[in-house]
Structure 1
Amino acid sequence: VTTRNRHVYLWGLLAPPYTDKEFDYIWTDDEAQDYVGWLSFLKKMKRYRARYASLVFAHYSNHEKVTIQKYAERYAMLDDDTVQWLLGLRNEPSPLFDLQKAVLDNLVLPIAGYGLKEICKHPKLVNFQWQIEASGSQWSVVQFSRFLESSDIQIKQRLKTELLAYNRDDVTATRKLELWLRSFSKPKQAV
């Protein structure tokens, strides 16, 4: 999740076997921790790469790939092995898989928009509901801004907890969307 200044304060993902317990993240309290957060993200990606042989990071939109590219440029790390792997700059494909592209290229859905929430919340599609109804990308930017402005430790902790819950729901919804899409590719049983 990014701020207007393109500081990623929360890098979140859902690790195998993809339950709420496997929600993993890197959090930075402010922009001063930006570089440390980026390095922590790369370190975590390197560990996941070593642990899972055929790892795929499903995401929704090209935002993740673009953000990784911009961070690599910002910190002059385009030659970093993990960055090159994530961006698919070597002789192996990127582990990043954009579900939005798969949806847009292959489906016509009975909804007005093709955002993650529109698809996932629809009761006849994925039917996943976020814990915090009002949450969304703009909501998260406002909440993080409040986090930065507050000096009250309890308020900061509540805001961080809400932001983590929103991000956990986003990565869980992405996983549910992936499973929903995969259900279309299952072989049909003979009648």
Structure 2
Amino acid sequence: MERLKYNFLNLYVHSLSLIIYLGMMALIGKVHAQTFLTESFNYPPGTLLTNTHWSQQTVGSPAIMVGNGNLIYPNTIGDNIGNKVSLASGGEDLYHAFTAATLNASTPGVYSSMIVNVSDAQAGGDFFFALGSFAPTASLYIRSNGTGFSFGIGKSGTTAEYENLVRPFTTDNGTTYSWSSVGTQACPE
């Protein structure tokens, strides 16, 4: 006859693991994520963005309108959704309002991601995307580096800082941009 065996050490290890796990979950707190804005440019090609949810900040030419097709970056959920827009140097500046976010200990940052394809850029650089109220407080830049371009970031009233990497023109680039709170200072990353 076999005897029923029970390993008390095994029960102790499982109980201790469960207690540690529950303690960690209690100490970690909650993580909140919220989507403030999603834009897939799901409008008919040729539509002026100012005829959608976008507002004009400064007048420029050419006007920004929706183009046919979209940009693709491997393994992103946005592949084959919506259309795209093309920007040109000297064009109009548009903005899209979204739910305000106060940066603090419980909401330490706002993140944005997009797929960017650059066909030409100025040697001096120019911003093409910004986060902030009506006057941008954090901007994403591009500048030409001979055979390609580089991304840069900057805050209002400061000179943009550019990466050393030279990226090839006409290639889809996935970017993630954050605006976070460090102590009492807000910083783009």
Q: Which interval holds the TM-score relative to the shorter structure?
A: under 0.3
Q: Which has the larger radius of gyration?
A: 2
Higher helix share: 1
Which structure ranks higher in relative contact order (CA pairs < 8 Å, sequence separation ≥ 6)? 1
User: Normalising to structure 2: TM-score of the pair?
Assistant: 0.24
Higher percent of residues as strand:
2
